[in-house]
Chain A
Amino acid sequence: EADIYQTPRYLVIGTGKKITLECSQTMGHDKMYWYQQDPGMELHLIHYSYGVNSTEKGDLSSESTVSRIRTEHFPLTLESARPSHTSQYLCASSDRINSYEQYFGPGTRLTVT
């Protein structure tokens, strides 16, 4: 079944740790996105990718980095986590066949203590 997965779903980590949030999709979509969302608030695009080896920063400045080595995989890394990084991170993917309708993963809720 085609889907988009995010792991972990919940993560509590101490300040200064390096973390990687995983996102994978099985739909073969060329475009993938990372959004940051505080609970009950609007979504902010922090990174996007048009395909393998193509990544761009989004509208909201973020200290995180991303990579796109394989079409299906779009991990997000924080080199040194801080309490200000506490948020929910949503991954999405799309392609032109469905007019770029974005399909969302379940999200990772990150808490940095």
Chain B
Amino acid sequence: AQSVAQPEDQVNVAEGNPLTVKCTYSVSGNPYLFWYVQYPNRGLQFLLKYITGDNLVKGSYGFEAEFNKSQTSFHLKKPSALVSDSALYFCAVRDSGDSWGKFQFGAGTQVVVTP
């Protein structure tokens, strides 16, 4: 079984400050980890993924995430937040051994960036 926890329902940050959105996971095999962003009345947009290799993954719009195997975490970060980063963020995991490709999504974290 696989699961994802996003412990914060909402993260508030001032524009220009660092942004962190937390994600921890549980999976029986090796994890493939993903971050998506969703704007109102839209589908999910892919930000970045960790499959293997370097633990620090860089993605779209200046976002990055660090895979920490010992802490089973995959926190999303951005050094300097923009008002346009305000959106709903989802972390997802799948087991690398699962060829059926099913994801387990977290509950989502609403990010609010104030000017």
Binding site for B on A (CB under 8 A): 6, 31, 33, 40-43, 45, 48, 50, 88, 90, 92, 94-96, 99-107, 109
A99 to B57, CA, bound (A): 15
B45 engages A104 (CB within 8 Å): yes
The answer to whether A99 touches B51 (Cβ under 8 A) is yes
Within residues 16 to 48 of chain B, which ones have a CB less than 8 A from any CB in chain A?
A: 32, 34, 36, 41-46
Task: Evaluate contact between B108 and A40: CB separation under 8 angstroms.
Answer: yes
> Which of B66-115 touch A at CB < 8 Å?
88, 90, 92, 94, 96, 99-103, 105-108, 110
In the assembled complex, the Cα of A2 lies from the Cα of B51 at a distance in Å of 23
**Which of A33, A48, A88, A101 is in CB contact (< 8 Å) with B34?**
A101
Say whether A99 contacts B43, CB under 8 Å: no
Given the interface pairs A40-B108, A101-B49, the reply to whether A96 lies near B43 with Cβ below 8 Å is no
Within the complex, what minimum Cβ distance (angstroms) separates B16 from chain A?
A: 25
Asked whether A42 and B45 contact (CB < 8 A) given A31-B100, A50-B100, A100-B32, the answer is: no
Known: A31-B101, A104-B44. 4 other contacts (CB 8 A): A40-B108, A42-B90, A43-B105, A88-B41
